[in-house]
Structure 1
Amino acid sequence: MKIHAIETGKVKITKNWRIGRGNGLMRFKNTLLDSEFTEWLPIYVWVIEHQEGLIVIDTGIPEDANKHVWFPPFMPLVQRAAKFKMTAEQEVGPQLKKIGLSPDDVRWVVLTHLHQDHDGGLHHFPNAEFVVSSKEWEMSTGIKGRMNGYLNQRWPDWFKPRIIDFSSQELFGPFAGHHTLTQARDIHLVPTPGHSPGHLSVILDEDDLSIMFAGDTSYTEELLIEQKVDGIGADPDVQQETHQKILEYAEQHRIVYLPSHDPGAKERLENRIPLSINANLELEAQAV
């Protein structure tokens, strides 16, 4: 089946955002006040032309992603630490039309989490069924969600996703639960918390490969292998545990690992390059 990597603008974050430094409140302080920034990173949306209907994973950012947010009071610091480069033509809706697909024909939109660079294109899919984990929905809605840094005031009034409760589901390898999305039983949602409390990832079974659309479980494949967690995540220990589960799954299956902001993800998808833990370890040994 065809899978498209659509880049919806770019983001530049502090280096301490990409790789966290310190603990507790000091970790957030180091993240938000860091004066050094990464290069511009892609913001990928993934589109699967599945026999049961179009599936979109995340929705990218909106044209006005840099619009100032003043509540809660720490949001100006967050916006200083994460800068976006975006035009209206780069939003997910217009880009789908450029490749001959219609947003109106999308059956499912699966949201790995509800940060603004993943939920910013909700308005393009009024006819789709949205899917979100129960924990992510709990943490992101209402005034509690605003205080947690979610921009739920930007969501369309009609946004009412289907909520997935992983706690009531069977285990999926090392993952604590799963939900099978398709009748063909080839697309699975698994809990991958850490970057956000209810973060999920999507695993597509394709022949002898598993393609993992990993959201922000890590910012790159290398950081997953090195088990380095970011500076903005809700729980660094939980995020590292998620990394270990993904690596354990990769030992049992050939997986193509696709984080949303990894510059190498599109090439790995196009060439179906599986994650190779041993190869990376050998390169590190040679460097030493």
Structure 2
Amino acid sequence: MFRLYALKYAELTGRKRSDVFLTADPHDGHIDMAYYIWVAVRDDGEAVVIDTGFTPETAAKRGRVFLEHPTQLFARIDVDPTKVRNVIVTHLHYDHAGNFSLFPNARFHIQDDEMAFATGRDMGHPALRAPFEVEDVVEMVRAVYGERVIFHNGDASPMPGIELFKVGGHSRGLQFVRVATARGPVVVASDAAHYYESFEEDRLFGIVDSLGAMVTGFRRLREIGGEASRIVPGHDPEVLLRYPAPREKDDGFVAALHLPPSR
């Protein structure tokens, strides 16, 4: 069993819904985006990190508001990133695959197809490489050469209580994660569903590798996760409103996903 946390490190506010969803009407108003890192912690203190966020430099480059450095967020839940041994990279987009240097003793779990996608011929097209930061991808290549990457080809169970499910769609090798917690299995959707409405209403996100894989991914999320209270979307600010903070001073930064949501 794990305690499972969402750590909010950055945000982007006031985007038009039509800039986010392919099927949104330009008159539908605005929507905010939260950026999270997720951490699963066993009772013995062993921590598994799910995605690693972006750096302050990338935030400035891409016009995102950087709220708190991941090292400070890890300290809020008593996790030392230098002692983390396993990091799951759901995909290599810039907001999920920076800060690798914070985890000098970790092995990185990634799908074969994601690594091939991020280093192959498709990156010759500006529209396809836009969500990637080349230096992050190069860091992952260095980790491969350092024998620190564990590749998966489809669904996998890399350790007890942690399951990976490959869906693609948003990125070629996108995977989501199911974590065993005291309230039952909880699915960290990452970008298999950016918002609750993504998987509840099949809302198509604007950055897409395969539309068919994206909508099939929504279906898999519902099949694997079950009820919505066990599925945690990747960028919805609502997550911090539905789940309690571990401590009052963590409100707005940390959500305890192993506890039942308020709604």
TM-score band w.r.t. shorter chain: 0.7 to 0.9
**What is the TM-score of this pair, normalised by structure 1?**
0.72
1:126 to 104, 126, 131: 104
2:194 maps to 219
The alpha-carbon distance between structure 1 residues 180 and 271, as it changes in their structure 2 partners (threshold 3 A), is same
1:58 maps to 51
Separation in 2, partners of 1:37, 1:63 = 28
- Note if contact 1:45-1:260 (Cα within 8 Å) is conserved in structure 2: no
Letter in 2 for 1:128: A
2:205 to 230, 235, 249: 230
> Which blocks of at least 5 consecutive residues in structure 1 are unaligned?
23-29, 69-78, 167-177, 276-288
> Which blocks of at least 5 consecutive residues in structure 2 are unaligned?
244-256
Please list, as runs of the form range in 1=range in 2, the aligned pairs for 1:200-219 lying within 5 A after superposition.
200-207=175-182, 209-219=184-194
- Note if contact 1:209-1:255 (Cα within 8 Å) is conserved in structure 2: no
- Note if contact 1:194-1:238 (Cα within 8 Å) is conserved in structure 2: yes
Q: CA deviation at 1:65?
A: 1.6
The alpha-carbon distance between structure 1 residues 143 and 47, as it changes in their structure 2 partners (threshold 3 A), is same
The alpha-carbon distance between structure 1 residues 191 and 202, as it changes in their structure 2 partners (threshold 3 A), is same
- Note if contact 2:85-2:106 (Cα within 8 Å) is conserved in structure 1: yes
- Note if contact 2:23-2:204 (Cα within 8 Å) is conserved in structure 1: no
1:19 maps to 21
Q: CA deviation at 1:146?
A: 6.0
Percent of pairs with identical residues: 20
2:75 to 94, 97, 103: 97
Higher Cα Rg: structure 1 or 2?
A: 1
Query: Over aligned residue pairs, what C-alpha RMSD do you find?
Result: 2.9
Is 1:41 matched with 2:33? Answer: yes
Please list, as runs of the form range in 1=range in 2, the aligned pairs for 1:140-155 lying within 5 A after superposition.
140-141=118-119, 144-145=122-123, 147=125, 148-149=128-129, 150-154=132-136, 155=138
SS at match of 1:223: helix
SS at match of 1:181: strand
The alpha-carbon distance between structure 1 residues 117 and 3, as it changes in their structure 2 partners (threshold 3 A), is same
Deviates more, 1:230-239 or 1:255-264: 255-264
2:252 maps to none
The alpha-carbon distance between structure 1 residues 181 and 36, as it changes in their structure 2 partners (threshold 3 A), is same
2:162 to 167, 171, 187: 187
The alpha-carbon distance between structure 1 residues 114 and 191, as it changes in their structure 2 partners (threshold 3 A), is same
The alpha-carbon distance between structure 1 residues 7 and 230, as it changes in their structure 2 partners (threshold 3 A), is same
Q: CA deviation at 1:91?
A: 2.6
Q: CA deviation at 1:218?
A: 1.7
Q: CA deviation at 1:52?
A: 7.8
Q: CA deviation at 1:125?
A: 1.0
Structure of greater relative contact order (alpha carbons < 8 Å, 6+ residues apart): 2
SS at match of 1:64: helix
Separation in 1, partners of 2:190, 2:158 = 17
SS at match of 1:40: strand
Separation in 2, partners of 1:153, 1:37 = 35
SS at match of 2:78: coil
- Note if contact 2:117-2:123 (Cα within 8 Å) is conserved in structure 1: yes
